[in-house]
Amino acid sequence: MVVSLAQIRQTAGEVFTEGCPTRVVLDHIMSKWGVLVLLALTDGTHRWGELRREVEGISEKMLASTLRTLEADGLVDRTSYPEVPPRVEYALTDLGRELMERMLPLVQWVAANAGRVIPVS
């Protein structure tokens, strides 16, 4: 038996209304840097400098702002240790891990099919 996409979509709720919370959160996590930062944190805790290096091309400003947004959304945890020099670690929250369980299959599929989607010129 085949379940149609339309049936599944029913349960997605009203994403098309402007300003609805779902749209706001989608904008955060589906943003260019949002995805990459979340992805980087998927294999565990990372320090600021590690994220800066791992997420290639991100600027300090964007890393800071992305992390603050994801933290406010409750998806990322920030832990700062009172040491000199300072050490700050970022990790997914439980909510963040739930999210990534759904996001990873999507990213995997894209990674596997990117060559098919955009023909190699």
Partner DNA sequence: CAGTATCCGCGCGGATACTG
Cβ contacts of residue 77 below 8 Å, gap of 6+? 71, 90, 91, 92, 93, 96
Instruction: Using CB under 8 A, pick the residue from 62, 88, 91, 100 that binds a copy of itself.
Output: 100
92, with CB counted inside 10 A (0-12, 13-18, 19+), is buried
Site for a copy of itself contains 106 (CB under 8 A): yes
Site for a copy of itself contains 62 (CB under 8 A): no
CB of 82 to a copy of itself, least distance (A): 28
By C-beta, is 88 or 91 nearer to a copy of itself? 91
- Binding letters toward DNA, positions 61-100, x by CB under 7 A: xx-x--x----------x-x----xxxx-x----------
First to last CA, the chain: 39
Radius of gyration of the chain (CA): 17
Cβ contacts of residue 45 below 8 Å, gap of 6+? 89, 90, 91
Binding partner at 97 among a copy of itself, DNA, none, C-beta below 5 to 8 Å by kind: a copy of itself
Q: Which amino acid is at 51?
A: L
Q: Could you give the strand order of the β-sheet that contains 87-92, starting from the edge strand earlier in sequence? A: 46-47, 87-92, 76-81
By C-beta, is 84 or 117 nearer to a copy of itself? 117
Write out the residues near a copy of itself by the rule CB under 8 A: 5-6, 8-9, 11-13, 15-18, 20-27, 29-32, 35-36, 39-40, 42-44, 54-57, 72-75, 92, 95, 97-118
